[in-house]
Structure formats: C-alpha cells, structure tokens
Chains A and B, each alone.
Chain A
Amino acid sequence: MSKIHVSTTVNGEAAEFLAEPQESLLDALRNTLNLTGSKEGCGSGDCGACSVIIDGRLVCSCLVLAVEAGGMAITTIEGIAEGEKLHPIQQKFLENAALQCGFCTPGFIVATKALLDVNPDPTETEIRYWLAGNLCRCTGYDKIVRAVQDAAAEMRGS
C-alpha cells in the first residue's frame, strides 16, 4: 500500500505528512516531523518515554498508528513551554533536580501536565499511580514526585 496522507494538529499548529500503515505516531513525530523530544525507550508501551497528549488524553505514541492521527490534536513535549517561557512543571522539574540523564523527562512532563489538567491537587499516592507508566532508572522517583507536588502548588497559586 502506498503511503497515507495525514493532516493533523501538533502543538497547536497544522501538520501534514505521509505515513506507512505500520508506522507509529512516535516514528512520524521523530523522523518525519523532526520532533525528537518524545523518546523511544521500549517500543511496547511499557516505559512512557514516548508519552503525548491526544485530544486531552495521555497516551503512548508508540502504540498509536501514525495514520490514525488525522484530525487529532496532539501535544508533545515541544508544545509544553510557551515559546521562551517554561511551563511551571518544567521549571519545577529543574528547581527540584528531578532529572539526571533527562531521557525520561519529556514523558514525565507530558504525563504530569495530563495529571494536573484533571487533578490540580493530587496526593502523593495519586501522583505515583498516575505516573506508574513512566519509568525512570536514574532518580528513584523521589525528586520527580516532589517536583510534581511543587508544580501543582504553584499552578494552584498556593
């Protein structure tokens, strides 16, 4: 089958590309649209490094076909900051040293945004269970959880 033409919206901007049926959305984002912020850690939906938000819903982009993206509104890590201005979540990750190698960080930031969009005042347990699909091997999660709590407080205006 020849490639399928896809028209979609990524980080608020119209995006068009051609995709093979078997290509994942992650592949299209990284290789076709050059948005390499979303990472492949496993290719099987077990690590969350490829997390994006589609129509308000947190998903693994490695488990979405690129050809499904038509008509979707997709948010990737590249769309979290507003131009030069970092999102509070990004700022708090930096201030709390919630990253070491940084590879899982885009996935965590996107997942955190999805959490705080629906639950602005999560408990520590709620944070940990929401983020259970994002693997980190460097930090042991402690400073990540603190960064999320800190960002949530900031965003509530506390």
Chain B
Amino acid sequence: MTFIGNKSDLRVVGTRPVRPDGVDKVTGRAVYGADAVLAGQIVGKVLRSPHAHARIVSIDTSKAMAIKGVRAVITAADLPNIPSEEAFVGEGPMNFRDLSLNCMARTKVLYEGHAVAAVAAMTDALADQALAAIDVKYEVLPHVIDVEEAMAPGAPILHDDLFTAGITPKPTTASNVAKKVRFTIGDVEAGFKAADVIIEQRYTTAPVHQAYIEPHACVAAWSADGQCTVIASSQGHFMIRSYCAKLLGIDVAAIRVVNAEIGGGFGGKTLVYLEPLALALSKKSGRPVKMVMTREEVFRATGPTSGAVVEVKIGATKDGKITAAQAVMKYQAGAFPGSPINPGLMCAFAMYDLANVDVLGYDVVSNRPKVAAYRAPGAPISSWAAECAIDDLALKLGMDPIDLRMKNAAKQGSKTVYGVTHGVIGYEEVLQAAKAHPHWSAPLGKNQGRGFATGFWFNIGGESTGAVFVNEDGTVNVVSGSPDIGGSRASMVMMAAEVLGISYNKCQAVIPDTSSVGFTHVTGGSRVTYATGMAVTQAAQAVVEDLKKRAAMIWDISPEAVEWKDGQAVPAGANAGGFDPLPLAAIALKAAKTGGPIGSEISVNAQGAGPGFGAHICDIEIDPETGHATIVRYTAVQDVGRAIHPSYVEGQIQGGAVQGIGWALNEEYVYNKKGLMDNAGFLDYRIPVASDLPMIEAVLVEVPNTRHPFGVRGVGEVPIVPPMAAVGNAIRGALDLRMFHLPMSPPRLRAAVDAAKMPKAAE
C-alpha cells in the first residue's frame, strides 16, 4: 500500500468541494426512509407494552383481524424462535436471540415500549384501530431501573437464564449482572502506596438518547416467491440484510436492502427494530408495508445509552506523575445484556502512560429499552468521571491541567490497560495545540469558569467494499458500500479523484443496494473514511494500473514504461518513446479495443485503524441564583490524521462536542414511579438549541496514520468523549464546587451552590 498522504502532493484531498448529494438535500429531494414508496404499500404500526416489566399472559388479536381493511396482525408467534447466538458487530456484542426478542417480545415485556404485536392496515387510522383492538393480558411484575438497585440482592430479575459471566465458579442463581469484566496492568496497590496525593470520587450519569431528528422508518416487501426488498434509513444496509435474514430465518441472498438517506444515527441505527416486523407483515398481508416510528416511540422503545455509576481513584506523586489509576464501573444495558462496559473500561485512562491500572466493570440489565451504541459507546461516561478526577488532582497538586496531562501523556509505545501498545498517535500534539491556543489564556469574566478535558477512541477498520468504474466518456463512478451519514460520499469521491488525477466533478458518487456491491460492515466505529476510503482508494489505484496497461497497449510499449501523472498516462522518460500524454478520457474511449470495460471493485478488511485523541476547552458562565449555565466559548482540538474534507471533519467535531454539552447540562431520561418515561419528546428531553451555544471552534491537528494511504484516522466519535468533563471542570472553575451527577441541570447547580454556602454540620 502506497502512502499518498504527504500534504504538499495533494490536489483534491484537503479541499472543501460541495458534496455530491448536496443539491438533493437542500431542495428536499433526497429520499429518507419515510419518503420512500413501494407501489401498493400499506401502513404498519406496533403495539407496545405499557408496563416496565410484565409477563405476557395472553394476546388476543381476533378483534383486530376482523376489522375491514386490516390486512395482517403479527406477534412473536410469527417470527422464528431463534437460539442464542453471539456476534461482535460494529461497536458492541450482539446476541441474535436477544435482538429478536427486542424486536418482538415473546413471553415477557422488559420495558415500557417493548413491542408485543404489530399490524398492517390500509390506512393510518385503521392501523390505530387495529392496535386498540388487540387484547393483551399482562401480569405486571416489579421493575427495576437504577443500575445499583438492579445489582442488589432481591432485585426483580429480568432473565431467569442469565448468570453472571466472568465469575468463577459459575453462579447458579440468576442475576441482573450479565457480566463482570476486569482489565489490570501493574500493581495499583503499590502505586497508591507510592502516591502523595489520592483523589477518590464517585460519579453517576443518567441515560441519554442519541436523539437523531429522523425517527426510524422503512418500507418492506415480501413477494410471493420469497424475494424481499427493504428500503430503510440505516447505518448499514448490509446489517439490515444480515439481521433480517437471521431474525426471519431466510437466506441472505433473498433480501435486497436499498439504502435510503439517513437522518442521523450516531450508533442508534446500527441495529433493526422495524425492518423484520415490516417484512413479516408484508409476508402475511401480501403487500409492501411501510413503518415509521413516532418521536415518542423512538424515546420509549429504541436504545438510548447506559446510565452508570463510575467510581475512580487516582494517585500521583507531588511532581504530577500518576502512580496508579483505578475504577469500578457499573453500566445499564437495558433489557438485554450488552452495555458498552468494555470500551468504557478501556478508554478512561487510555490517554495516559501508566504502569498501574485496574478497571473493573459490570454489565447490568434493567427495565429500560435495550441500550444501543451512542458515539464512542461507553467512553464518554467513563471519561466524564476520569477527567473530572484528573482535574481535581491537578487542583490538589497545584498544577496546570494541561501540564498534568502532558506529564503523563500516552505516546508511541505506551501500553494500554487492555494490552494494546499505542503506535504513532497524536495526543501530545493535541495537548500542545490546546495549550498554545488563545482560548487557554483568554481572560474570564464574573461567574465564569474554564474547564479542560481530553478523550480517546480506538476507531476501527473492518470490512468494506469500494469500486471505481470508468465510463466510456471518461467520467467515473465511485461506488461505496457505506451509507453516507455525514458527507462521506464527498470524501470517497475526493480520494478517488486524487488517485486518478482527474477533476472531482467528473466523478459520480454511488451507494448501491446490497445486491449490487460487495459486503460492507456497519457505519460505526468511525470507520467509513478509513476502511471504505481504503477500499475506494485501492480500487482507484487498481484502475490506474489498468489505465497504464491500456496506454502501453495503445503505444505498443511495455507497461513498466508508463507512468500516471495528473490524470494522464505519460511515457516514463525519453527512452520509452516520444508519445503525447494520454488523458483518462482518451484511454476510456478505447477501452473495448484494449481489453474491455475498465473498473475495479475491492473488498478490504481494513487493519491498522489509528486511535484519535481530543482535548476540549470550555468556558461557562453560571447564574448562581438560578443555576442557569451558558457556554460562553468552546474549543475542540483533535488529531484527525488527515482531513480529507476539512469542513466535514470540523462538522463531526462540532456536532460531537454539542451532543456532549447536552449530555452534560440537560439531557436525561426521567422515569416516574411505574418505570415509565416521563419526558418522551423533544419538549422535555432537552437537546441543545441554536441559541444555547456559541460558535464551536474545531482545531484540526494532523498526525497521519501511515497505515492508510491518505493518513486517515477516524474522527466521528472522539469529539463526544471530552465535553462532559470539560463542562464539569468549567463549572468547578466558576462555582468552586464539584458536580458528581449528570446532567448538571439548573436545579442541581442551584442546590449545590446553596449546599456549599451552608456551614458544615458538626461531625
């Protein structure tokens, strides 16, 4: 693999062209899941549990079936009862039986919103009538939501067959603790003994949702010959194909998934909810079925991320050298096992070069929707705790927070607690850029505070397919197997145009359906520009090799004597012959005579994805009388490897930072006493609005990952890791008090301010 990434050589990569799908998206023409139409489609809707935990005693669908215009009603009985099967997909573990039960409950409902039946009818109104006519008898059971309550003895047990993994001997009593996992290096006890200063704190978070603006939507058709078509918004149309095949017990090749544009996912659309149900309804009704979630369903029934408890203990000597870092983390998984506890454990201290680290975690089920990935799953939660604790450590040591991190910074060769040794990384460069930034030394006003925090995410590579096909007129189709969730079409075209040496505008971006391009893994783990980009780049390189061969044929010289320069074949030196350069278009014209169509499709299982590091500076102003927090200034520095399209890289950083700000200040799931979500809408689930924020300055540091032809590192997830601690540390600066629970909403800030004013009670 050739490294093309030297900046001075690049002509297209690093510029900011308009994205290929842009006009469709600013004119309303782009087709998202809810916009898709299959001729004859009818309406599908889901009946959902009103209880947080209950046994399904019986389901009587007869009255619903009897309504004229209702074409099908399904329950779990219409889906295969598949056995337990583990897989590692995207960014987390997946058990297909759990996924199936999550899509449609079988014997128990495990959260409010859990699907118990679904209908397909001629109209919306009829579908609503049908849902109302289904008679479900429940035996309501006690529920548990809070993670420590779910772990406690005597807690209502969700699964009779769940025994805590990671304990020896294997337990015989069912538990809500799905697994216990630990990573250790060195000797933390010795490390703490050697410490002059120890910070020991307990942090907690509430569950939050990815809150993409587009609700889940799909339209599916199961034709009489068993051929299935699904049009869906997703983060991976191959994932939809695989999961539907698995959950419905059919051949993968029988399903063709067409990628509709996606209105945000952030990890929350890396699995299926509606698609298997829509297919089952289509099979039963003989019609295509369209299903679109309401906003309320999105909140009540799709995976938010974990709420958690993180206890940290960090020790350092007076000079700021961290001698030991320890944490115990308890993460909610929702109704089925699979919280992001592993990444949470792995990422918390990954920014530091530490000899003694011990992180212990618990994956705990509770009566909430099954957790789904949310942008760097697990890491924002553990970094919230670790980076706040490190900030208090800096305070106690009388050290500048950036200097403390520099003193302990991970570098090439540093060993992580999970066993991987860092390769070429950019953490120190990021710290230096943050420290040198004018924001760090700008003056602060009254009631204002400044916070600093850093974060890490591994980024993954994985399976992707890309293709480049040269058309007879010299234009080029650049094919990606990955859906475009944030502008990746532009990056694919830019990389291909760079390699081919032609204009960006001569390339057409294409995202075909699953039957028309090779397998491509889910869009997650910040892998698309890396892995799919690698596949596209390799395909473009293969095309260049072919173009050189064709030119050699045309000139009747040896292929070794041909070079490719600025989009043209040129003889390699005077000895090769005095031929005029042959542009790509000229060679394309002669494709049939020189061997046939010119194109290449490459599948990769990309290795060598490089981790990313971010450092955020946050200035906050608090009104001490009301607890109202205003972000006054925000700077996010990140090592991005090589920014293919800098605007979209900046956009990822800004968007991730703002999600983290919302998580820090106002976002949380509020439950009532019955375990039902109290704020299932955008009115009371408060994501940041435009007037809440200043401009977010994104600073791109480029330490290229030489294992990618252009030096790319994944960028999408790192930016959500530092913000909560950056905000928490800013609040500490403004109010001189430490907040331990998220979100740090006004009532909590006001209460903390009042408590701090009270004279301390006598011990």
Contact = CB atoms under 8 A, between A and B. Distances in A.
Counting from the closest, the 7 A-B pairs by CB-CB distance are: A37-B28, A103-B263, A140-B658, A102-B25, A97-B647, A46-B682, A140-B654
A141 B631 CA distance: 14
Interface string B626-665: 0000000000000000000101101110111111000000
A42 interface: yes
Given A36-B28, A137-B213, A137-B264, 17 more contacts: A30-B34, A39-B34, A39-B213, A39-B263, A41-B214, A77-B28, A80-B27, A90-B27, A96-B647, A97-B647, A100-B651, A101-B214, A128-B691, A131-B690, A139-B658, A140-B656, A140-B696
Nearest to A143: B651
A137 B690 contact: no
11 contacts: A36-B35, A38-B28, A42-B682, A86-B27, A101-B214, A101-B485, A129-B690, A131-B691, A137-B210, A137-B211, A140-B688
A43 B294 contact: yes
A35 B693 CA distance: 32
A106 B651 contact: no
Best-surrounded residue of A46, A125, A127 (most CB of chain B within 10 A): A46
B30 interface: yes
Given A38-B28, A90-B27, A142-B696, A132 B689 contact: yes
Interface of A: 20, 30, 35-44, 46-47, 49, 76-78, 80-81, 86, 90, 93-97, 99-106, 109, 124-125, 127-129, 131-146
Q: How large, as a class, is the contact surface on chain B?
A: 35 or more
A137 B687 contact: yes
A143 B654 contact: yes
Interface stretch (B15-23, B472-480, B670-678): B15-23
B690 A134 contact: yes
A70 to B, nearest CB: 22
A103 B213 contact: yes
B174 interface: no
Contacts of A97: 16, 19, 487, 645, 647-648, 650-651
Interface string B566-587: 0000000000000000000000
Contacts of A41: 213-215, 263, 295, 682
B261 interface: yes
A99 B295 contact: no
B213 A99 contact: no
B212 interface: yes
B263 A101 contact: yes
Contact of A47 (B19, B213, B691): B213
Nearest to B263: A103
B581 to A, nearest CB: 33
Contacts of A47: 213, 295, 682
Contacts of B28: 35-38, 76-78, 106
A137 B655 contact: yes
A144 B311 CA distance: 39
Interface string B681-712: 11100011111010110000000000000000
Contacts of B384: none
Given A40-B34, A136-B213, A99 B294 contact: no
A121 B27 CA distance: 24
Contact of A105 (B26, B31, B125, B262): B26
Contacts of B691: 125, 128-129, 131-132
A44 B295 contact: yes
B111 to A, nearest CB: 21
B695 A145 contact: yes
Nearest to A103: B263
A99 B27 contact: no
A50 B34 CA distance: 13
A87 to B, nearest CB: 9
A48 to B, nearest CB: 9
B262 A101 contact: yes
B373 to A, nearest CB: 15
Nearest to A20: B125
Nearest to B35: A36
A78 B23 CA distance: 12
Interface of B: 16, 18-19, 21-23, 25-32, 34-35, 125, 210-215, 261-266, 292, 294-295, 485-487, 645, 647-648, 650-652, 654-659, 681-683, 687-691, 693, 695-696
Contact of B212 (A128, A137, A142): A137
Nearest to B34: A40
B715 to A, nearest CB: 12
Contacts of B18: 94-95
A142 B266 CA distance: 19
Contacts of A136: 213, 690
B26 A94 contact: yes
Contact of B654 (A30, A40, A105, A139): A139
A93 B681 CA distance: 28
B25 A99 contact: yes
B81 to A, nearest CB: 35
B149 to A, nearest CB: 31
A14 B176 CA distance: 61
Contact of A137 (B30, B487, B659): B659
Given A135-B687, A139-B655, A141-B658, A99 B263 contact: no
Contact of B29 (A37, A93, A95): A37
B26 A39 contact: no
A78 B27 contact: yes
Nearest to B212: A137
Contacts of B294: 43
Contact of B263 (A20, A102, A128, A129): A102
A143 B225 CA distance: 49
Contacts of A40: 34, 215, 292
Best-surrounded residue of A43, A96, A100 (most CB of chain B within 10 A): A100
A115 B128 CA distance: 38
B648 A140 contact: no
A81 to B, nearest CB: 6
Nearest to B295: A42
Given A102-B25, A102-B263, A135-B213, A39 B651 contact: no
Contact of A37 (B27, B215, B486): B27
A51 to B, nearest CB: 11
Given A41-B214, A103-B213, A142 B687 contact: no
Nearest to A80: B27
